[in-house]
Amino acid sequence: MQKILNKRKIINDPIYGFITIPDELIYDLINHPYFQRLRRIKQLGMTNLVYPGALHTRFHHAIGAMWLMVEAIKVLQSKGVEISKEEEQGAIIAILLHDIGHGPFSHALEHTIVHGISHEDISEMLMNKLNKEFDGKLSLAIKIFNDKYPKKFLHQLVSSQLDMDRLDYLKRDSFYTGVSEGVISSDRIIKMLNVLNNQLIIEEKGIYSIEKFIIARRLMYWQVYLHKTVLSAENMLVKILQRAKELASEKKELFCSPALSKFLYNRYGKKDFDKNPEVLELFAKLDDYDIFGAIKVWADNEDEILSYLCRCLIDRNLYKIEIQNEEFKESYVKAKKKEIATKYKIKKEDLDYFVFSSSVANEIYNVDKIGITILFKNGKTKDISKSSDQLNVEVLNKTVKKWFICYPR
Amino acid sequence: MQKILNKRKIINDPIYGFITIPDELIYDLINHPYFQRLRRIKQLGMTNLVYPGALHTRFHHAIGAMWLMVEAIKVLQSKGVEISKEEEQGAIIAILLHDIGHGPFSHALEHTIVHGISHEDISEMLMNKLNKEFDGKLSLAIKIFNDKYPKKFLHQLVSSQLDMDRLDYLKRDSFYTGVSEGVISSDRIIKMLNVLNNQLIIEEKGIYSIEKFIIARRLMYWQVYLHKTVLSAENMLVKILQRAKELASEKKELFCSPALSKFLYNRYGKKDFDKNPEVLELFAKLDDYDIFGAIKVWADNEDEILSYLCRCLIDRNLYKIEIQNEEFKESYVKAKKKEIATKYKIKKEDLDYFVFSSSVANEIYNVDKIGITILFKNGKTKDISKSSDQLNVEVLNKTVKKWFICYPR
Amino acid sequence: MQKILNKRKIINDPIYGFITIPDELIYDLINHPYFQRLRRIKQLGMTNLVYPGALHTRFHHAIGAMWLMVEAIKVLQSKGVEISKEEEQGAIIAILLHDIGHGPFSHALEHTIVHGISHEDISEMLMNKLNKEFDGKLSLAIKIFNDKYPKKFLHQLVSSQLDMDRLDYLKRDSFYTGVSEGVISSDRIIKMLNVLNNQLIIEEKGIYSIEKFIIARRLMYWQVYLHKTVLSAENMLVKILQRAKELASEKKELFCSPALSKFLYNRYGKKDFDKNPEVLELFAKLDDYDIFGAIKVWADNEDEILSYLCRCLIDRNLYKIEIQNEEFKESYVKAKKKEIATKYKIKKEDLDYFVFSSSVANEIYNVDKIGITILFKNGKTKDISKSSDQLNVEVLNKTVKKWFICYPR
Amino acid sequence: MQKILNKRKIINDPIYGFITIPDELIYDLINHPYFQRLRRIKQLGMTNLVYPGALHTRFHHAIGAMWLMVEAIKVLQSKGVEISKEEEQGAIIAILLHDIGHGPFSHALEHTIVHGISHEDISEMLMNKLNKEFDGKLSLAIKIFNDKYPKKFLHQLVSSQLDMDRLDYLKRDSFYTGVSEGVISSDRIIKMLNVLNNQLIIEEKGIYSIEKFIIARRLMYWQVYLHKTVLSAENMLVKILQRAKELASEKKELFCSPALSKFLYNRYGKKDFDKNPEVLELFAKLDDYDIFGAIKVWADNEDEILSYLCRCLIDRNLYKIEIQNEEFKESYVKAKKKEIATKYKIKKEDLDYFVFSSSVANEIYNVDKIGITILFKNGKTKDISKSSDQLNVEVLNKTVKKWFICYPR
C-alpha cells in the first residue's frame, strides 16, 4: 500500500505534466521563503505587454529545469555514466537555485536596483546562506554551480551552451508566449546526451535537433526576448526607476515599500552586499509587487516626468521604438530630441527621459566558450559549429547587435 | 498589396493561436485604461499557489471570450441566422467587457473590498461610463449585456449556461493549470450552435460534447476552483483584508496605495458608487498589485495577527483545511478552537482569524435557469438534462455544498 | 560511456514521445512475425472512411499499452507494492500480446472469417505457441493473462474496466481521429493507481478523472466506435465477405490470397483450430491486405451483388443508415425492402445484401463485473458507481442498444 | 435556422481541427473514385516501419493542403489582393489534385511500376480526364497547376519553394511520425504571405519563421524522409518489384491483382499512357493494397530470391545499410558482394538483389528556382538566402548527396 508521504510531492506543470519533487531536502528548499519569492518574479519581465500569456515566473522555470535535470541524469546513468546519489542531489539543487538571485522583473532591472553585482553573484550569496541554514548540505551543489567539482559535466548540465536552464526556458517561454516555433524537443536532446572525457556531449544522431535548438533560440531572441515593443517597455521601466532614484537623491518622498525604499534612497553595490548582511536580506524581499505597486502610485506623483512615464507604462502607451543594424547617427538623434522637446515642451536636462538611444546584442552561440560537442559514431568529436554543414559558424560566432531609439509617439 | 493598418490587430494566444481584433472601436476599448487594468488581475486569484502556471489574467480571458464570440457569430451566420454588423459588434463588446468590473484577485475578495455590490454591477457601471466616452457606441452592447435586446440569443452567447465566457474560461483555466482533463472542445460546441425561436440551441449531434462540457466543468470545480489548498489560501486572504479593515477602523496606520487606502478606511457599498462617481474611479485603480504589495509590507506590521497571516500567505505556509459533505459539529469546532487557542496562546476575541469554518457550494447546471437546449433532427427540442441518458438530472440540479474548517498546522 | 545496444530500443510515438522497449525478450517478441502482422491490422477497421486519420494499427496500440504498463508498475512500486522483475515482465508481455489474435479489420470481421472462436481465444493460442518457441519464458505472462496468477491486480492491469488496454485505446483513438474530447488523462489515472487486498484501486482524488474517463469512453462510443457511417461501412464489409463465402460454397472461383482462400472455401471454428495446427498458422497470415486486396478485385467480379458491394465500399458510396433507440417495425423493414427491390430490380433471395437491419449495443460500465474501486482517505473502498454523485448508476449499468437499418441511397 | 446541407461538408483533422469543404464541385471531386483512391496510398511509403504512426495517406494530405489554400487566400484577400471566386476555386482544386497521379507507396515505386513518366505527368492526365467529366469546370485549375495563368502567385501557392503542399506535408509528417521538431508554424507563415508584382512574398517579420521552416525541412529529410532504415526498406521494395518483373518477363506466373498484372507483364511508359487511355485507367486502380497484397503471397513463391526479399520486408528483417558522404569505393563494394555471395551461396547473376549501392540527394532550397522572397518594410525585396544572416546560402544551394550500400545482415 501507499507509503504515507508527509510532504506534497507532485507539482502540475502544463508543459511536462506531473513533476515529482525528488527528495525532502529539495522539498524544503522549494518551501523556503527565498525560493517562494520567485513566485512573484515574472520570467520575462514586461513581455506580457506583447504576449499576454507570458506571465510565468522564475519559480516555475526553476522547477521545470530541475525536472529536466532529473531526466538528464536518468539518461546518463542508463548509459553507464557514474553519478552517485549525492552528486545527483547536488546537480538538482544547483539548477533549482541557479536563478535565486534574480530581482524584480528578472533581467529588465538587473543593473538599476543594484550596481556592479550580477544576479549570479547574488544567487551564490543566497546559496551560501541556505547552506548554513541547512547545515552544509548544499556544499556539493555549490561546488557544481561554481564549476569546482571534478565531474565537469555536472556543471555543464547546470550552465553551458546546452544546459537544462536553456532547455527549460526556451520551451517554457515558447509555451506561454504562444510562439510555437520556439518549441524545442528537450526530450530528444536529453535522450542524446552522453559523457566523454568528463565532458557533456551529444550523440551524432542528435545533430539536427541541436541545429533546430540553435535556430529556435535565435528565433526566440528576435521574436520575443528582443521584441521591439518589449524593449520599449523595459527601457521605460528602467527610466522610471532612474527618475525615482533621482528624486530620491533629492530627498523627495516617494511611495514605496520599506524594502524598495532602501534601494531607492541608497546606491548598493557588491561591497555593500559583502559588508552588510542586511542588504542581502532586504534584496530577498523585493519582487515584482514592490516595483509595480510603486509605479501605480507614482502615476499620480507631482513630478511630471515620473508620473508621465508611469502612466504610459500602466496604460500601455509605450514609446515608439525604431530599431536598426547600425548605430543611429548623432544628427538624427539630435533632430529627434529637438522635435520631441518642442512638441512636448521638455526642458533640456529632462530630455534623456523622453528620447533615448541604446543597443541590444545577442550571441546565439559562442565558439570560444565551451561549446556543444558532437560525438560521431567513429568515436571522434567535433564542435557543433564544425559538425553542421548548415549552421554558419562565422555568423553564429558574431554577436548580433542592434541599435534602437525610443521616444513618445 | 497589404493595406496599412494603423493599429496593431493581432494578439498571440497560446490557446487559439492568433486572435485578430475585429475593428477599431474594439481596439480602442481594449486600449482603454479600464480594460488594461485587467492585465493586472489574475483570473484565478490565489490558485497559482497550487497550480503554479495559473497566472493568466482577466485581460487574456476577455480577449479569448471575444474571439469565441467572433467564431460563434460566423457559425450562426453561415447557418442563415441573421445578425447585422451592428449586432455582431454589440455582442462582441458585451463579452469583451463582461468582466471589467472585477476587482483584485477576482472572486476571492469580491465581498471584502466593497459591500453589497457585485462585480456585475460594477461592470455595468463601467460600461455606462465607457459608453459616454465613446459617444453612445456601446448602447447596443449594453442592451445585449442586460438582456434587453430583442434577439435573446445574443445575450445567451454572453451569459447563459453555455456562453462564450464559460467556454473560454474552462479551456483557459485547464490550459494554464495543466489540468488537461478540463479541456473542452469549444470548437466543436461552437460548430453545433444554432438558433431556434430566438433561443440559442445545440444541434443533436453535439449532445455528447455537452455532456463532456458539463462533466469537465464539474471536474474543474473540485480539482481547481474549489481545491482545498486554494480555499485555504483565499480564505486567509479574506482574513487579512478583514484584519486590515479592523485596524483601519481603529485608525491604525497601514501601508497601502492611496486607492486601497480609501477602501480600507471606508466601507463602500452600492449607494456610495451611485452617489459618488469618484468611488468607481478609485475602484478602477485597484488590482492585484495594491493588495499583494500591501500584504508584503504588512508581514512586518506590528499587529501580530496581521503580520502572522501575511507571512503565512507570502511564504505559502497555509492553514490546514478539513473539508466534508456535512456541516462541522459545533462541538468539533469548539474543541479545535480551544486546541489552537492553547497551542498558540491566542486571545478569545482574535480566535476567528485562526480557526474559521465556512462552506462552498457549486451548482453545475441549473435546470431552473435558461438551460442548454438540444435540437433533435425531428425538429423537437429538449433540455440537456432531459436529453442525456447519462447526466443525472437530480444530481445536476442539486447544489453541491461542502463545509470546511481552517486552522494553523 | 554509452553501453552498446545491439537491439534498437526506442520507438517514436506521437502520443507518449519516446517508448523504450524494456528488455530483450520483449524486443524479440515485438520482432516476431506474429506481432509484426499487427502492423497490417488497423485498430479501427473502416473508421478511416469517416475520420481519415484513423489508420493506426493494433501494433501501435499494443506498444502503447505496453508503455502504460511500464509506467503503471513504476507507480505501484513507488507506493510500496511488491512486484518482482519477473512479474513485471510477465505483466508487460501479457498486455503486449493481448490483441495478437485479432484478425483483419479488428472487430469488424471477427465473426465472419472464423466461427465460434473469439480473438481472445486466438490470442491465447498464439501466446502458447510463442511460449514454446521461447522455451517457456511466457508462462507467467500467460497466467496473468488468464487470471490464474495469485496477484490478481496484475491481471486487472491487463484486463478489467480500467486496464492499460482501455487507457491506451481511448487516448490513441482520440488522437488519430481528431476527436479531442475523447482524450483522457492516462497520466493522472496511472498516478492514482494503488493496490489494496490484492485488488487494483484508485485513490480518492482520482475520482473526477474516473468520471471523465467513463464519460469520454461513452463519447467515443457514439461519436466514433458506433458512428453511423462506420456502422454502415463495416456492415457492408461483412456482407461482402458473406457473399464471397456464398459464392465460394457454390465453388465459384474468387481472386484471393492463398491464406484467405482457405477461410473462404472452408468454415473454420474452434474445433478446427484445436485439431489442426495449420489453421492457426494460416490465420496468422491474414491481415487487412488480404481482405481489401481481394475486395478491390471483386469490384469487377461477374457476380453483380459482390461487385456492387465492393465498388460501393471502395468508392465510399455507402449505404444510407437509419438508427434509432427501438427496434424497427417489421412493417417498416418490409416496406423498405419492397421499395429497394423495386427501385434496383433485386431478386427476393438477394435482398438481404441490400437491406438489412441489426443492432449494436454498448455498455459503458458494468457494475456486475469487477469494477473500478475507489479508496477513500478514511480507508474505506467503494465502487465508482457508488462513489460518484454524478454518474448515474442505473444508466451506466444498462446496456445501451440501438437498432439500425441500411440500404442503398 | 440551419440551411439544409445535402452533402457532408466537414472533415475531422487531428491537425487543423475541422476542415470545411468549400463548395459542391470540390465536394464532388473529393468523392470521385480517382480521389478516393488516395485513401489507399500512404504518404510516406514504408516509413511506418520506423515510425509506426506514419500511416497517413495522400488523401489526408491533399485535404490538408486544400485547407491551407483556403486560409492563405483569405489572408491575401484581407490584405487587398484581388482574387475572384473562380480563381479561388481554381487554386483550391489545383492543390487538391496536385498529387492525384501518385502511385502505390508514393515516391518509393515511382520509377518501378511505370517508366519515363512522372507522377506529375499522371496528375495532369487525370486532371484533364476529370475536366472532361466535369464539363470543363477544372480548366482554370489546370492552368494554375501548369503555371499558365497570368496571376503567377496562384501557381506559387500550389507549387514553389513555399507552397501549401510543403506546408501541409511537413506539418503532417511531423505529426504522424511524432518527430515534433519538424513541426512548422504554417499558421504564422500564412499570416505573413502577401503579393507584390504578381509574386508571392513573405513580409519581413516572417523571416525567422522561414528560417525555421527551412531548417525543419532539412531535419525531416535526414530524420524521416531519408532515414537509413526507411531507405533500406524502400530499396528492398523496389528490388522486389524488379524481381517480379524479371520473373514476369520470363512468363512465370505471379499472384497479383489484374491491374498490377498489366504493369508487371508490360513495360508502360509515357507513350503508352498517351496512346492507350486504358493504361491510365488501369493505373488509377493501383494502390498500396495491390502491391503489398502481392508481396505477402510472394513470400511463399517458389523463386527463392523473390520469396526471400518479400519475407524480409513483411517480417521487418531489413537489410543492413551503410551510409556515407562519399561514394563507396569499388573495391569495398566488390568485397562486400563476395562476402555475401559466399555467406549465402548466391549466384553471381543474382547478387544485385542482395548487395546494392546507390545514392540519395536532397536540396533544401534552390536559389536558382523561384525562391522565397522577403519584402522589407522599406519596400525592397530580397531572396531569403540573402535576407537571412543565418542561413548559409552556399550550403543551402548545394545538393547534399549521400551514398549507401545495403546487404543482408
How do strand B199-203 and strand B373-375 relate by DSSP bridges? parallel
Alpha helices in A162-205 (DSSP H): 164-177, 186-191
- pLDDT, residue A3, reads 41
Interchain contact A333–D (C-beta under 8 A): no
Interchain contact C257–D (C-beta under 8 A): yes
Indicate which of B6, B66, B298, B315 best probes the interface with A, i.e. most A CBs within 10 Å of its own CB.
B315
Task: Please state the ipTM of this predicted complex.
Answer: 0.93
Q: Cβ A191–C18 below 8 Å, yes or no?
A: yes
C6: CB partners within 8 A, 6+ apart = none
Interchain contact B12–A (C-beta under 8 A): yes
Q: Is the pLDDT of residue D7 over 90?
A: no
Check residue C352 and report its DSSP letter. Answer: G
More confident residue, C390 or C48: C48
CATH at A234: 1.20.1250.30
Per-residue pLDDT tens digits for C324-353: 889 999 999 999 999 999 999 999 999 999
The fraction of chain B above a pLDDT of 70, given in percent, is 94
B105/chain C closest Cα distance in angstroms: 26
Q: Is the pLDDT of residue C6 over 90?
A: no
Which residues from chain D sit within 8 angstroms of residue C34, using beta carbons?
none
Residue B79's CB is within 10 A of a number of other CB atoms, namely 16
Residue D284 belongs to some domain of the structure: no
Contact by Cβ (8 Å): C145, C97: yes
Q: Identify which of B33, B56, B294 has the shortest CB distance to residue A53.
A: B56
- pLDDT, residue D379, reads 84
Which chain D residue is nearest to residue B10, measuring alpha carbons?
A: D191
Q: Is the pLDDT of residue C364 over 70?
A: no
Q: Identify which of A219, A392, A400 has the shortest CB distance to residue D212.
A: A219
Structure confidence at residue C89 as a pLDDT band (50, 70, 90): very high
Q: Is the pLDDT of residue B8 over 70?
A: no
Interchain contact D316–C (C-beta under 8 A): yes
Best CA proximity match to D109, nearest among D101, C276, D70: D101
Instruction: List subunits contacting chain A, requiring 3 or more Cβ pairs under 8 Å.
Output: B, C, D
CA distance D236 to D218: 25
Q: Is the pLDDT of residue A4 over 50?
A: no
Q: Identify which of D1, D3, D191 has the shortest CB distance to residue B196.
A: D1
Interchain contact D12–B (C-beta under 8 A): no
Q: Cβ A297–B255 below 8 Å, yes or no?
A: no
Q: Give the type of residue at B143.
A: K
D195/chain B closest Cα distance in angstroms: 6
Structure confidence at residue C397 as a pLDDT band (50, 70, 90): low
- pLDDT, residue C393, reads 60
Check residue D219 and report its DSSP letter. Answer: H
CA distance D208 to D210: 5
Same domain, yes or no: B68 and B210: yes
Which chain A residue is nearest to residue C196, measuring alpha carbons?
A: A1
- pLDDT, residue A2, reads 39
How do strand A199-203 and strand A373-375 relate by DSSP bridges? parallel
Interchain contact D2–B (C-beta under 8 A): yes
Q: Identify which of D2, D17, D194 has the shortest CB distance to residue B2.
A: D194
The fraction of chain C above a pLDDT of 70, given in percent, is 94
Structure confidence at residue A99 as a pLDDT band (50, 70, 90): very high
Interchain contact B18–D (C-beta under 8 A): yes
Same domain, yes or no: A257 and A205: no
Residue D248 belongs to some domain of the structure: no
Sign of the dihedral defined by the CA atoms of residues B14, D17, B75, D73, in that order? positive
Structure confidence at residue A95 as a pLDDT band (50, 70, 90): very high
The range of the structural domain enclosing residue B352 comes to 319-409
Q: Is the pLDDT of residue A35 over 50?
A: yes
Sign of the dihedral defined by the CA atoms of residues D148, D153, D154, D155, in that order? positive
Residue B301 belongs to some domain of the structure: no
Residue D62 belongs to some domain of the structure: yes
Per-residue pLDDT tens digits for D42-86: 999 999 999 999 999 999 999 999 999 999 999 999 899 999 999
Per-residue pLDDT tens digits for A282-341: 999 999 999 999 999 999 999 999 999 999 999 999 999 999 889 999 999 999 999 999
Task: Among A356-370, B183-197, C138-152, name the one with the lowest average pLDDT.
Answer: A356-370
Which residues from chain A sit within 8 angstroms of residue D392, using beta carbons?
389-392, 395
Interchain contact B188–D (C-beta under 8 A): yes
The residue among D226, D251, D278 that closes a domain is: D226
The residue among D191, D226, D261 that closes a domain is: D226
| B89-92 long-range contacts, CB within 8 A, separation 24+ | B89/B22, B89/B23, B89/B25, B89/B26, B89/B140, B89/B141, B90/B140, B90/B141, B90/B143, B90/B144, B90/B149, B90/B154, B91/B141, B91/B144, B91/B154, B91/B157, B91/B158, B92/B22, B92/B26, B92/B66, B92/B141
* Interface contacts (A, C; CB < 8 Å): 34
Which residues from chain B sit within 8 angstroms of residue A60, using beta carbons?
52-53
- pLDDT, residue C367, reads 64
Q: Identify which of A36, A48, A296 has the shortest CB distance to residue B257.
A: A296
CATH at C144: 1.10.3210.10
Interchain contact C324–B (C-beta under 8 A): no
Q: Is the pLDDT of residue D311 over 80?
A: yes
Give the number of domains in chain B.
Answer: 2
Structure confidence at residue C148 as a pLDDT band (50, 70, 90): very high
C121 CB burial (10 A radius; 0-12, 13-18, 19+) = middle
Same domain, yes or no: B340 and B213: no
Interchain contact C34–D (C-beta under 8 A): no
Interchain contact A195–C (C-beta under 8 A): yes
Same domain, yes or no: B203 and B63: yes
Which residue bears the cell 471575444? B66
A365/chain B closest Cα distance in angstroms: 28
Q: Is the pLDDT of residue B140 over 70?
A: yes
Which residues from chain D sit within 8 angstroms of residue C257, using beta carbons?
255, 293, 296-297
Strongest mean pLDDT among A38-47, B359-368, C214-223 = A38-47
Q: What is the DSSP string of A70-89?
A: HHHHHHHHHTT----HHHHH
Same domain, yes or no: A216 and A252: no
The fraction of chain D above a pLDDT of 90, given in percent, is 75
Best CA proximity match to B214, nearest among B367, B64, B106: B367
Same domain, yes or no: A89 and A164: yes
Q: Cβ A212–D219 below 8 Å, yes or no?
A: yes
- pLDDT, residue C4, reads 37
Q: Identify which of D3, D80, D188 has the shortest CB distance to residue B80.
A: D3
Give the pLDDT mean for C369-382.
Answer: 84
Same domain, yes or no: D219 and D339: no
Which residues from chain C sit within 8 angstroms of residue B219, using beta carbons?
208-209, 211-212
B1/chain D closest Cα distance in angstroms: 6
B214/chain C closest Cα distance in angstroms: 10
Contact by Cβ (8 Å): D145, D98: yes
Residue D255 belongs to some domain of the structure: no
Interchain contact A395–D (C-beta under 8 A): yes
Interchain contact D322–B (C-beta under 8 A): no
More confident residue, A219 or D104: D104
Task: Among A334-343, C112-121, D7-16, name the one with the lowest average pLDDT.
Answer: D7-16
C392/chain B closest Cα distance in angstroms: 6
Which residues from chain A sit within 8 angstroms of residue B56, using beta carbons?
53, 55
More confident residue, C368 or B135: B135
The fraction of chain D above a pLDDT of 70, given in percent, is 94
pTM here is 0.87
The residue among D226, D246, D273 that closes a domain is: D226
C303 CB burial (10 A radius; 0-12, 13-18, 19+) = middle
CATH at B381: 3.30.70
Q: Is the pLDDT of residue C82 over 70?
A: yes
Terminal CA-to-CA distance of chain D, rounded, Å?
66
A73/chain B closest Cα distance in angstroms: 25
Structure confidence at residue C17 as a pLDDT band (50, 70, 90): confident
Which residues from chain A sit within 8 angstroms of residue D400, using beta carbons?
389
B273-308 burial by CB neighbour count: b if 16+ within 10 A, else e?
A: beeeeebbebbbbbbbbbbbbbbbbbbebebebbbb
Same domain, yes or no: A319 and A200: no
Mean residue pLDDT of chain D comes to 91
Which residues from chain B sit within 8 angstroms of residue A307, using beta carbons?
none
Per-residue pLDDT tens digits for C284-309: 999 999 999 999 999 999 999 999 99
Q: What is the DSSP string of C152-180?
A: HHHHHHHSSTT-HHHHHHHHHHHHHHT-G
Residue A391 belongs to some domain of the structure: no
Residue D157 belongs to some domain of the structure: yes
Q: Cβ A257–B258 below 8 Å, yes or no?
A: no
Which chain A residue is nearest to residue C5, measuring alpha carbons?
A: A79
Same domain, yes or no: D185 and D73: yes
Mean residue pLDDT of chain B comes to 91
Alpha helices in D97-147 (DSSP H): 110-113, 119-133, 139-145
Helices (H) and strands (E) in chain A, counts: 20, 9
* Interface contacts (B, C; CB < 8 Å): 65
Same domain, yes or no: A234 and A323: yes
- pLDDT, residue A1, reads 39
Per-residue pLDDT tens digits for A144-199: 999 999 999 999 999 998 999 999 999 999 999 998 877 788 988 999 999 999 99
Mean residue pLDDT of chain A comes to 91
- pLDDT, residue C361, reads 83
Same domain, yes or no: D208 and D326: no
Helices (H) and strands (E) in chain B, counts: 20, 9
Give the pLDDT mean for C193-206.
Answer: 92
Which residue bears the cell 533544401? D364
Tell me phi and psi for residue C203, to 5 degrees.
Answer: -70, 150
Per-residue pLDDT tens digits for D77-116: 989 999 999 999 999 999 999 999 999 998 888 889 999 9
Residue B333 belongs to some domain of the structure: yes
Q: What angle do CA A191, A195, A201 make, to 5 degrees?
A: 70
Estimate the crossing angle of helix C207-220 against helix B207-220, to 10 degrees: 170
Contact by Cβ (8 Å): A244, A263: no
Q: Identify which of A185, A208, A222 has the shortest CB distance to residue D208.
A: A222
- pLDDT, residue B391, reads 64
Q: Cβ B18–D188 below 8 Å, yes or no?
A: yes
Same domain, yes or no: A21 and A159: yes
